[in-house]
Amino acid sequence: MAESIVLGGYLLLTVGLGYLGLRMTKNAEDYYIAGGSLGWAVGGASIASTQMSSGLFIGTIGVVYAVGWSFAWVVFVFPLAYWMMVAVIAPRFTRQRKVSLPDFFEARYYSRAARVIAAVIILVAFVIYISAQVIAGGLIANVVLGVPLNVGMIGFTVIILLYTVIGGMFAVVYTDFLQMMIMIVGAALAIPAVLQHVGGLANLFALAEGANPSMFTWDGLPPSLLITLSLAFFLGAVARPEQLVRFYAMRDMATIRRGIGFVIVLVGVAHTLVFVLAIGATALFPALGNGDLAMPVLAEYALPAFLGTLLLTAVASAMMSTVSSILLVAGTALAHDIYGIIRPSSSPRRKVMIGRLGTVLTGLVPLVLLILGVGAGQLVQFIVALFSALMGAVFLVPVVAGVVWRRATREGAIASMIGGLVATIGWRVFGDTDLIDPVLPGFTAALVLMVATSLVTAPPPAEATDPFFADGPERTGAPAPGAPAGSR
């Protein structure tokens, strides 16, 4: 009964917010970037919940369970990455309000090819990433509700598609806000129940230390490994397309700064709560064969039914908030950056319709492939393992160079994206990934290619760089207010 109330209420609220998004969406700019009107609270919570996927509640808790609290120090990369985004990237990146990262590339690098290459990389990587999340969603439904895997995958996809397709960015950010709050509340309410089981905070620490002697030492994750891992996380976090597009969705720079402050608070609170739950799982269930089981076991055996379901709803929330954001960005790449070039449309209604169609297609393709038995194997695991590295290796250099180095050229940007992609995949296939994360050779190749290619090619024309670099008031050089999104 408690499970039905929690899950049913959550799903109703989610779909209700999708309907609210539908009511608020009047044109393509509303659909893709919420009309550029988001305030700091919704914008910040949306960035934070998009960053925190099921990886936090399943993978991260499992790693802390296995290696101890030393892994928690990796979290510092997130405030630093977001601070860099808002201090270095956002001021010039948002001078012209676009609706996607490929859009920015076309404007800054005066190149439609750069836009299409970025859109194709986003589309392929995101669609494959979504398929892995669909499998995970199906598994959660299978475990919690006892439905067959295929039914779980279909239900998971249909619910996310429903609110993302009808409500666009408004629905995505409002559900992100709700999902972020469920993550915090679910994890926070679970902690007193865990403390009650073990007999207080002091006992919790003592039991966890007894179960895992490296829990509160640096032995589990030596500082050298911690630094390498943190660098890889940092490079993968700074220039994510699904995060950068939220800068376009927020009102102005002051709002973005305030929103990123909120992100830093939410990321710190959510991660710390999850780390404490990992200590709880270590203290209560010290002999789990696989750390990834820590959260489900904790929810199932250590918490009352209501709290256990709330915690599993938090896991589902983490997954759904990330998937809906990625789905919308992949749909934008297909509808706006690829189809929009082939068949430009001037009608606002038609633009929204094409945006919705793009989102439906990018959501249904992975589901259909999975049901047909295609893509459930190694390719999906391969891309998911590489996803963060690919984002860092492909997009970080052209984004940062685009806003800090006026001399960066379109040839440099294209060489950088393709070189970063090839080097990352090449290292994953042929290199020693235990020693060096693929993002490091990928990022290095992208950086070298950007600098070398830009220096040997003709400088960019002033009309392409002036809107981003010219002195004067911030954020000038864009079309007049009221111009349709697609014309930019």
Partner 1 sequence: MAVLESGFIVWGYLLLYVLLTAAYYAWSAYRDRRDRGTGRTTRPAGSAREGSHDG
Measure CA 384 to chain center. 12
Closer residue to partner 1 (CB): 348 or 426: 348
Instruction: Enumerate binding residues for partner 1 (CB under 8 A).
Output: 24, 29, 34-42, 69-70, 72-73, 75-76, 79-80, 83, 87, 94-97, 170, 173-174, 177, 201-202, 204-206, 208-209, 216-218, 248, 251-255, 257-258, 260-261, 264-265, 268, 272, 473-485, 488
Closer residue to partner 1 (CB): 86 or 333: 86
Closer residue to partner 1 (CB): 78 or 427: 78
Min dist CB 254 to partner 1, Å, is 5
* Three-state DSSP class for residue 457: coil
Closer residue to partner 1 (CB): 267 or 396: 267
Min dist CB 109 to partner 1, Å, is 20
Closer residue to partner 1 (CB): 432 or 471: 471
Packing angle, helices 112-145 and 348-371, rounded to 10: 50
Min dist CB 271 to partner 1, Å, is 9
Closer residue to partner 1 (CB): 378 or 487: 487
CB–CB of 344/195 below 8 Å?
A: no
Amino acid identity at 280: G
Alpha carbon distance 256, 259 (integer Å) = 5
Angstrom CA distances, 108 to 96, 335, 461, 488, stand at 10, 21, 10, 12
CB–CB of 212/63 below 8 Å?
A: no
Measured in degrees and rounded to the nearest 5, phi and psi for residue 250 equal -95, 155
Min dist CB 390 to partner 1, Å, is 28
Burial class for 335, CB neighbours closer than 10 Å (0-12, 13-18, 19+): buried
Min dist CB 53 to partner 1, Å, is 21
Residue (of 150, 131, 149, 130) closest to 139 by Cα position: 149
Measured in degrees and rounded to the nearest 5, phi and psi for residue 234 equal -60, -50
Nearby residues of 374 by Cβ (< 8 Å), 6 or more positions away = none
Min dist CB 148 to partner 1, Å, is 36
Min dist CB 362 to partner 1, Å, is 25
Amino acid identity at 155: G
Closer residue to partner 1 (CB): 251 or 448: 251
